[in-house]
A and B are shown apart, each in its own frame.
Chain A
């Protein structure tokens, strides 16, 4: 049987069963199925690889607290984790510390608890954050004064 006879009726119209609509619907269902499948398997994979949602925040926050912003003794070279050197608390320093913000951005706020006006916020990257954590720190000023402080740290993905 020729192709024409098989798929077209006498009026030259498409015969039952063979029409573009069938393939459009089948194709659409197929694409939706693959999309849903990839979504479900992706979620399954993320599920068993999940870590506590605060772990990345802690890891990145302690990078600032322990190294990037930490006071360093000029003579011995020793870092004092938890003691924030206020002279280092600058946008450039933090952008060096978190140099690629294509996967995550950071919202960093330093509070001096011993001062009435104590807010000092720096955004690295986009800066938006849904989950901000607080870390107790000490703040060392250039004149040697040390105050109680709090580092608020949030990360976001985009």
Chain B
């Protein structure tokens, strides 16, 4: 305060700035550590490791990733498979958008990765000459 004990703009700005910073920090922490975010990251990492494993198997293979593994709070979330990564989006992805929940796998030149964007429910990963993911089984299930 100045000599006449006036409230200056600087003091107001400092307090408002402090409050804004506090909210920003809380927002970042909640966003990164929320259950939804954790599940999305887990799903992206788990499925990218699954794809890496499938690329190490000779012949054809289909793996069902059950709904119970993927739901949690992930409703209306999307899984995007492309050339060398798997991403999970918590809402429908916009063109050229990047996900916080993205993990890379190492592709093989002799197995073509089919780009897919599917809603998250039960997932079926299929590897033959190509590798793809869908919500319905592409191959007949063998018991």
Contacts and interface: CB of A to CB of B under 8 A. Distances in A.
Nearest to B104: A103
Contact of B56 (A1, A30, A66): A66
A34 B41 CA distance: 21
A37 B110 CA distance: 42
A41 B45 CA distance: 17
Given A17-B10, A45-B32, A104 B106 contact: yes
Given A34-B28, A37-B28, A37-B29, A60 B56 contact: yes
B109 interface: yes
Contacts of B42: 49
Contacts of B52: 56, 59-60, 63
Contacts of A63: 52, 55-56, 108
Interface of B: 2, 6, 8-11, 14, 17, 21, 24-25, 28-29, 32-33, 37-38, 41-42, 45, 49, 52-53, 55-59, 83-84, 104, 106-110
27 contacts: A1-B6, A7-B9, A16-B2, A18-B8, A22-B10, A33-B21, A33-B25, A34-B25, A37-B29, A38-B28, A41-B29, A41-B33, A44-B32, A49-B41, A59-B49, A60-B56, A60-B106, A63-B52, A63-B55, A66-B57, A67-B56, A67-B57, A96-B108, A99-B106, A99-B108, A100-B84, A102-B104
A45 B17 contact: no
Nearest to B51: A59
B108 A62 contact: no
For the complex of A and B, the 9 pairs showing the least CB-CB separation, nearest first, are A63-B56, A79-B58, A41-B32, A99-B109, A103-B104, A96-B109, A67-B58, A100-B84, A18-B10
Contacts of A151: none
Given A18-B8, A45-B41, A63-B56, A103 B106 contact: yes
Nearest to B11: A17
A84 interface: no
Contacts of A41: 28-29, 32-33
